[in-house]
């Protein structure tokens, strides 16, 4: 472990792993925490489970095209719960405010939180506020936690992924990361790319209703789609095949990525769910997804193939095939 915390300890790559495994787990490790899933699932009784998750939000800027830190703080936690197959039940909200934050901005953030709660039928049921001196935080940091219930014995977990499963995503990737980048002081380029920031709990319950064969779900945030796929392949020791021409990327997003030398597969999303489901149900799942406003552009992007080493392969538009490497560093800090 390094002597000093660097930004790279927060990038979701190797150093984040070192921080968690070599330091945090040394003091805090236990059976439930060790799964390192988006939410932890605890048994309440034989047919009811509780999902519990927490997330902090330090995004810069706090207002960005397609959202703001308030909306993000609810969506992030709701999506972590949804990805474990839970129905979100309640949210906690803790605000760390920097002296000097205009109350008008805080109100705007709260109103956005309210709107997102209403959309998902949730309430904040506990909370906290702290104020720190100017320079001791950056405008506003938010922590949310959420609980949800899995009460129908419908277990969704990477362990259920099977050979032949279809892999579905609910729309174009990489918009969140680029929307944030486009508004950073250091790179103020002109684009109308908007963050995909969205609560996906209703989309998840729509597909659970239509199919009993949803095997696993993952919210493709930091590290992007590639990181989620690599993680799933490695956990299941099954190879994954994806097809470049089927992976949705908006033309504008692609253009900026090429210009900046970034790979959209590794750029953060805040409203993208990657779904692993039995292939025979793929069509009806897609149909149900397309009826939801956050699923209109859903597509099948690949499949789980036979037993392998747990690698992800991209079949390119040139007709070639190459390995997709596990994400190794996020160039851009404070995207969420």
Interface positions with another protein (CB under 8 A) = 4-8, 13-15, 185-187, 239, 258, 260-261, 263, 308-309, 311, 313, 316-323, 325, 328-329, 331
Token pair, residue 215, equals 């095997």
Specify whether the CB–CB gap between 162 and 304 falls below 8 A.
Answer: yes
Shortest distance in whole angstroms from residue 98 CB to another protein: 20
Token pair, residue 256, equals 């900026």
Shortest distance in whole angstroms from residue 261 CB to another protein: 5
Cis peptide before 112 (omega within 30 of 0): no
Token pair, residue 205, equals 């319950």
Token pair, residue 155, equals 């277990």
Specify whether the CB–CB gap between 244 and 315 falls below 8 A.
Answer: yes
Residue with smaller CB distance to another protein, 17 or 29: 17
Residue with smaller CB distance to another protein, 48 or 322: 322
Specify whether the CB–CB gap between 208 and 277 falls below 8 A.
Answer: no
Residue with smaller CB distance to another protein, 92 or 329: 329
Residue with smaller CB distance to another protein, 61 or 290: 61
Shortest distance in whole angstroms from residue 308 CB to another protein: 7
**How far is 141 from 124, CA to CA, in rounded Å?**
17
Residue with smaller CB distance to another protein, 293 or 309: 309
Per DSSP, 327 falls in state: P
Shortest distance in whole angstroms from residue 224 CB to another protein: 14
Shortest distance in whole angstroms from residue 320 CB to another protein: 3
Going from the C-alpha of 195 to that of each of 48, 173, 182, 248, the distances in angstroms are 35, 10, 11, 15
């Amino acid at each position: 472990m390094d002597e000093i915390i660097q930004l790279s300890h927060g990038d979701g790559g190797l150093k984040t792993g070192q921080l968690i495994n070599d330091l945090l787990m040394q003091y805090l490790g236990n059976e439930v925490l060790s799964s390192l899933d988006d939410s932890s699932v605890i048994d309440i009784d034989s047919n009811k489970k509780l999902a519990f998750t927490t997330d902090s939000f330090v995004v810069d800027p706090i207002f960005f095209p397609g959202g703001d830190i308030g909306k993000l703080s609810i969506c992030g936690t709701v999506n972590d719960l949804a990805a474990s197959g839970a129905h979100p039940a309640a949210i906690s909200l803790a605000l760390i405010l920097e002296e000097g934050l205009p109350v008008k901005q805080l109100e705007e953030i709260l109103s956005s939180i309210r709107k997102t709660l209403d959309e998902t039928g949730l309430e904040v049921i506990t909370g906290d506020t702290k104020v720190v001196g100017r320079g001791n935080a950056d405008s506003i940091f938010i922590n949310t936690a959420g609980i949800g219930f899995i009460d129908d014995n419908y277990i969704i977990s990477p362990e259920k992924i099977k050979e032949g499963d279809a892999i579905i995503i609910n729309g174009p990737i990489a918009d969140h990361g680029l929307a944030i980048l486009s508004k950073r002081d250091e790179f103020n380029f002109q684009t109308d790319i908007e963050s995909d920031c969205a609560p996906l709990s209703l989309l998840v319950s729509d597909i659970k209703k239509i199919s009993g064969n949803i095997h696993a779900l993952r919210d493709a945030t930091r590290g992007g789609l590639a990181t989620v796929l690599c993680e799933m392949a490695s956990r299941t020791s099954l190879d994954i095949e994806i097809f470049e021409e089927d992976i949705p990327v908006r033309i504008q997003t692609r253009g900026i990525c090429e210009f900046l030398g970034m790979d959209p597969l590794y750029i953060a999303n805040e409203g993208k769910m990657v779904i692993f489901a039995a292939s025979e149900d793929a069509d009806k799942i897609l149909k149900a997804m397309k009826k939801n406003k956050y699923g209109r552009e859903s597509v099948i992007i690949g499949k789980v193939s036979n037993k392998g080493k747990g690698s992800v392969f991209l079949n390119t538009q040139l007709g070639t095939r190459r390995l997709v490497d596990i994400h190794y560093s996020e160039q851009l800090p404070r995207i969420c």
